[in-house]
Amino acid sequence: MTIEKELPAQLREHLKWVELPGNSREGFRSVVMPEQRLVYMPVAKCAMSSMEDVLKVAGVQRKSRSRIIHQGRYPTIPNSKVRQLPADWTIFAIVRHPLARAISCYTDRTNKKSFQEKYSLPAVATIKQFVDRVCETPDTCCEKHVISQTTYLIRNGRALPHVLIPFSRLPYALEQLMASRGLPATMSHRRKSLHSPWQDAFSSRQQQQLRERYAADFSNFTFGE
């Protein structure tokens, strides 16, 4: 059966094959897993690369020769539409401690020219420069790797996912969810960032700056660490 036939009629026109996390004029997009009646809501810097293994085992086809999840196109619907799915579908997302996500972003993104240009950073940016730029830039002007998880996952004060999996509980919590849908999925941590723990990487002042910047995330989610 095709993916289109698995979706309610009102959602079929919104199905698109896009790269993840699939930001567009409609907003961010979610991957549909019809055989398992699951929807994955990707958040940048929250185990997206590792999720590729799960999607492959789940039979979700991708349209790309690249092996990198970010460069593959997946069947998606807008995040704003996920709650229109039938009640037997489960929507899930992985959330990560904002400061752990921030140090991962600093390590992996500040050497990219596009990121440097976006935040007016030098070729070799210090952590202080990174924190200052990120904290002075609101979500409405942000690059996807530093946008708050709240912007991805909360609408009108309500969490869109039914299940929020803390990054710190991977792979076990994700494997549990997959098993509940008859899927013997195993997950390895791909592209693991090589960086110091955020507690060591950021000064007390920088930690406070980031906690204020991502106050909504600390209010809306539990990170298990």
Q: pLDDT digit string (tens) for 82-97?
A: 999 999 999 999 999 9
Q: What percent of the chain has pLDDT over 70?
A: 87
- pLDDT classification of 71: cutoffs 50, 70, 90: low
Tens digits of residue pLDDT in 93-121: 999 999 999 999 999 999 999 999 999 99
The pLDDT assigned to 59 comes to: 81
Please give the tally of structural domains in the chain: 1
* Distance separating alpha carbons of residues 170 and 51, to the nearest angstrom: 11
Strand partners, 160: none
Q: Which of 37, 44, 157 is nearest to 91 (CA)?
A: 37
The pLDDT assigned to 93 comes to: 97
| 10 inside domain | yes
Tens digits of residue pLDDT in 21-33: 665 555 799 999 9
Q: Read off the CATH number of the domain in which 75 is found.
A: 3.40.50
| 78 inside domain | yes
Place of tokens 């000064």: 203
The pLDDT assigned to 2 comes to: 77
Instruction: Decide which of 63 and 154 is more confident.
Output: 154
The pLDDT assigned to 57 comes to: 80
| 225 inside domain | no
Instruction: Decide which of 82 and 171 is more confident.
Output: 82
pTM score: 0.91
SS3 76: strand
* CB atoms near residue 122 (< 10 Å): 9
| 163 inside domain | yes
Q: Which of 148, 188, 159, 26 is nearest to 93 (CA)?
A: 159
Domain assignment of residue 101, given as a range: 3-220
| 188 inside domain | yes
